[in-house]
Structure formats: structure tokens, C-alpha cells
């Protein structure tokens, strides 16, 4: 029934997110369980979460750095998996929000007892100055955001975490999207990039020489070429709101900065 809550748990990581959390929680209000895994917020984040009837748990310190930043994103997301009461699980970040269309798409899948897939990638679209970005080298941009717990792996990788279908299960793609507002100033976003780069560089610092060459020289340069081709294609073909050029260049910056940090770790440590 349309009026019934969706039997799917939604997980959200938080830390001092009072400015964005209400919009996020409004977008998932049709789900029957919302789990907040909080990193020690001292603003109104927890007050807001409790006002929406969320289940609130604390991020385990074993997944954190001494400065309270998350060291293992899969670890804290798996905490929410362990807490979830439903078979279906979805997640959204505290500064994002689900579109109304994707909520109804998820409802349809949950109600269907024999869905076409068990792990679903969800498209992501950026929102800049309240305008939805339709054209960008970032697209297509998918993440596995919705899945059946018993037909998928747990979250893996300390950063850019994901789940995968278990053997003989199907990965599928949702048609509708999650929106990602981009209202950070440039310096804040670069600091966030550098934080992710440090985690990834530590994970990859023990690569063999051949592994380093293949990952840095081959895969990452191929990634750069892909983004350049997508950017040119977006300019020439896509009709709609374009991503600002300065934000497009942040993706290229991320790749080159990561290549440098991984190489530095590999040959100095």
C-alpha cells in the first residue's frame, strides 16, 4: 500500500550536520527505519535525528582516527548493517537527499517479492546553487546504495566503500537518482579530497613495483583520459545545466594528487 512505510532500513553517517540533515531525513521519511551512526555531534544533529524518530548509534572508536575523523568508512557503515531490522538496506549521506522518484522506485522493488536484482546501483546528480546539473564529465556516476543484506557482501574498502552481490546474484541499476548538493567552498572540498586521498594512499602503499606501475601509470592515466573525453562530449552533445569548469577540474586534481601520494608512500615508506 502507498500509505505504508517502506520495509527498508536507511543508514546515515553524521557529524555536526544540523544544516543539511533535515532535508536528508525528509527525503527518506517513507522508510520504516532510519539509522543514524553519529561521530559525536555537539550541534543539533542528534536532537533533529531523535525528532524524526531515528535509531541513533555511536561510531565505534576502532574505526576512527585519534582526531575523531573516520579511518574506515566500511567499518562504520557495517555498524548500521548490523543494527538494521529489515532485509533491505539503503544508505544516503547526511548532505544528500533521495529524489521522490527513487523512493517510489525502491518501494516498488521492496513490495515485489521477486525483484529483478538484489544489489542496485543508484545514479547520483549534483545540485549547484539549487540547479540540477545534467551535463558533466562526472556522469555517469553510480554507487551501490540499495541492496538485500543476505544477497550481498558487507561494505568493503576503507574509503569509496561499496557492497557487491554474492556469487550467482545480480547487480542492477535504478532509474532514478540521489541528489548531491554542492554548496561547499573550494577550500573545504579540497580538504575533504585530501582526507580521502590520505586514506587511499595508506591502503595502496604496499603495492609491488608492477602493481604500482599498473595502478598509477596505466589505470589512473586512463581515468584522466576518460574524464577529458566525457568533458568534451558533455560540452558538444549534452543539453542542460553544465557543471562549472572549476568543479570539473577538481576530479582531475583528485586523480593526479592521489597518483602522487600513492607513489610517495610506495617509494618512501
In the chain, where the domains are located: 6-181, 186-268
- Ramachandran class of 53: left when φ > 0, alpha when ψ lies in -120 to 50, beta otherwise: left
Does the pLDDT value for residue 2 go beyond 60? no
Average pLDDT, rounded, for the chain? 92
SS3 (DSSP) at 43: coil
In the block, residue with C-alpha cell 583520459 = 225
Fold assignment, 6-181: Spore Coat Polysaccharide Biosynthesis Protein SpsA; Chain A (3.90.550)
Instruction: Work out the average pLDDT over 92-114.
Output: 92
- Ramachandran class of 68: left when φ > 0, alpha when ψ lies in -120 to 50, beta otherwise: left
- Ramachandran class of 196: left when φ > 0, alpha when ψ lies in -120 to 50, beta otherwise: alpha
Q: Using 50, 70 and 90 to split pLDDT, how confident is the model at 12? A: very high
Predicted model pTM: 0.89
What pLDDT, in 10s, does the model give residues 164-201?
A: 999 989 899 999 999 999 876 778 888 888 988 998 88
Amino acid at each position: 500500500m502507498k500509505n505504508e512505510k517502506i520495509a527498508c532500513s536507511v543508514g546515515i553517517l553524521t557529524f555536526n550536520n544540523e544544516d543539511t540533515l533535515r532535508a536528508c531525513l525528509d527525503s527518506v521519511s517513507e522508510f520504516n527505519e532510519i539509522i543514524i551512526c553519529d561521530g559525536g555531534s555537539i550541534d543539533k544533529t542528534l536532537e533533529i535525528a531523535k525528532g524524526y524518530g531515528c535509531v541513533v548509534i555511536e561510531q565505534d572508536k576502532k574505526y576512527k582516527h585519534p582526531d575523531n575523523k573516520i579511518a574506515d568508512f566500511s567499518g562504520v557503515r557495517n555498524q548500521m548493517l548490523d543494527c538494521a531490522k529489515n532485509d533491505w538496506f539503503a544508505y544516503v549521506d547526511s548532505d544528500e537527499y533521495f529524489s521522490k522518484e527513487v523512493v517510489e522506485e525502491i518501494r516498488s522493488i521492496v513490495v515485489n517479492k521477486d525483484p529483478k536484482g538484489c544489489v542496485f546501483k543508484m545514479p547520483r546528480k549534483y545540485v549547484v546553487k539549487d540547479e540540477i546539473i545534467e551535463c558533466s564529465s562526472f556522469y555517469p556516476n553510480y554507487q551501490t546504495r540499495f541492496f538485500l543484506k543476505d544477497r550481498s557482501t558487507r561494505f568493503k574498502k576503507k574509503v569509496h566503500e561499496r557492497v557487491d552481490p554474492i556469487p550467482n546474484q545480480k547487480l542492477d541499476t535504478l532509474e532514478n537518482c540521489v541528489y548531491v548538493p554542492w554548496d561547499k567552498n573550494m577550500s573545504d572540498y579540497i580538504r575533504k579530497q585530501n582526507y580521502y586521498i590520505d586514506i587511499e594512499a595508506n591502503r595502496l602503499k604496499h603495492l609491488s613495483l608492477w602493481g604500482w606501475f599498473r595502478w598509477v601509470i596505466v589505470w589512473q592515466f586512463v581515468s584522466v583520459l576518460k574524464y577529458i573525453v566525457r568533458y568534451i562530449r558533455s560540452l558538444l552533445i549534452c543539453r542542460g545545466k553544465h557543471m562549472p569548469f572549476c568543479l570539473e577540474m577538481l576530479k582531475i586534481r583528485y586523480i593526479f594528487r592521489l597518483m602522487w601520494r600513492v607513489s610517495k608512500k610506495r617509494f618512501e615508506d
